[in-house]
Amino acid sequence: MLQKHGTLWLRGFDVTKDPDGFREFWESLDLNPCLDPIHSSGLRKFLSKNDAIYEEVNKQALSQHYIGLHQEMTEKKTALYGAFVCFQPATVSGGEFLIADGEKIFRDMDPEILELICDRQVRISVSNLDLDVLGVLPGDAKAKGMDWVQQKVAETVAPKFDMDLEMLWGTDGNEMRLQAVERAQPPVNRHPVTGRPVWFCNVHNHARFLRERRPCKVPEVGMTDVYYGNLDVIPGEVLSKINEVCEKNIVKVPMKAGDVLLCDNYRVLHGRDIFEGDRLHAVSWFGDEKGEAAERGAGDLLNSFINNVVVGQ
């Protein structure tokens, strides 16, 4: 069933209403827990470390921040499965869990947009660091200061994210903004088990153009963006067409206490709607037989898929 549909929605169980019972659930399925792909960044907080359970984005400060569709991955690592559990739905309203089938997104995408984005690939900027203070330095001192900061940030940030990040100045037109940017990636992947093409890309969540047009409470330092592989800006009309297909395929899941969504992270994208009140959702990630997150290369990335896959077959 999981291979066929990509997600299983398990409802009506009392055992999964607390961390101990949730662990009992995934252990009964012989799933091997692994760290979140960006666990080393320090951005992922454990709800229950001994039970391998991470807290989802439940903070009040981000309750009005819409989390777009994404898979849990970097350009290096990817979790195989995610089990999302609701311990408490939003006490007032909203907070629905969002899922979308990456295979359907692939099928529904305009062939011209699909060919364009696959041919040019994408690069994701994961953070902004504004250093206008360096701009007041005279000539050589400014250049040396920028080089020094660039090197020190690279030595500090990249290892935390376990990514091949490139530190770049002025990518978005702000001369004194230093951005940490992932390497170029294709937006389509072959599923490592079924071999079928899927939309495997975080454009819907990370593109600034889209974030600015929906509820967003992320501080500027954490405002992500997406570029073409050569760092050209992706036009708004292209992002709008991608967004249209993603939104068409979103399914809102109104989870109740004890509900679990077991998702194939290669196949299914996920997100969260804004909410009012208190909310407590959590997630555990699962990898290979050693409990290790999968490497991105396991998916056989499609660089020239358009010549080998008939769109919509």
| pTM listed for this prediction | 0.88
**Residue given tokens 């996920």 in the structure block:** 270
Residue 142: how many CA atoms within 13 Å on its side-chain side?
A: 12
**Statement to judge: residues 136 and 101 lie in one domain:** no
What's the domain range around 197? 2-121+184-307
Structural domain contains residue 53: yes
Q: Residue 258 maps to which CATH number?
A: 3.60.130.10
CA 296 – CA 156 distance, rounded (Å): 23
Q: What is the pLDDT of residues 106-162, one digit of tens each?
A: 999 999 999 999 999 999 998 888 888 887 888 788 888 888 888 887 877 766 666
**Statement to judge: residues 102 and 202 lie in one domain:** yes
**Statement to judge: residues 173 and 34 lie in one domain:** no
Query: Which of 39-48, 175-184, 270-279 is most confident?
Result: 270-279
Structural domain contains residue 148: yes
Structural domain contains residue 150: yes
CA distances from 186 to 3, 69, 173, 216, 238 (A): 23, 17, 24, 26, 16
**Statement to judge: residues 32 and 129 lie in one domain:** no
Q: What is the pLDDT of residues 225-236, one digit of tens each?
A: 999 999 999 999
Amino acid identity of residue 212, one-letter, is: E
**Statement to judge: residues 128 and 244 lie in one domain:** no
Report which of 292, 297, 301, 307 is spatially closest to residue 35, judged by C-alpha positions: 292
**Statement to judge: residues 155 and 6 lie in one domain:** no
**Statement to judge: residues 104 and 247 lie in one domain:** yes
Q: What is the dihedral of CA 201, 78, 249, 303, to 10 degrees?
A: 40
**Statement to judge: residues 39 and 98 lie in one domain:** yes
Structural domain contains residue 312: no
**Statement to judge: residues 136 and 226 lie in one domain:** no
Structural domain contains residue 313: no
| pLDDT for position 158 | 65
**Statement to judge: residues 160 and 263 lie in one domain:** no
**Statement to judge: residues 136 and 228 lie in one domain:** no
**Statement to judge: residues 271 and 217 lie in one domain:** yes
With residue 262 as reference, give the H or E element that holds it.
strand 260-264
Q: Which domain-ending residue is among 180, 197, 223?
A: 180
What's the number of domains the chain is made of?
2
Task: Beginning with the edge strand found earlier in the chain, give each strand of the sheet holding 67-70 in spatial order.
Answer: 67-70, 268-272, 97-101, 251-253
Is pLDDT at 303 greater than 60 in this prediction? no
Strands 93-94 and 294-295: unpaired
Q: What is the pLDDT of residues 220-264, one digit of tens each?
A: 988 999 999 999 999 999 999 999 999 999 999 999 999 999 999
Q: What is the pLDDT of residues 65-102, one digit of tens each?
A: 999 999 998 877 889 999 999 999 999 999 999 999 99
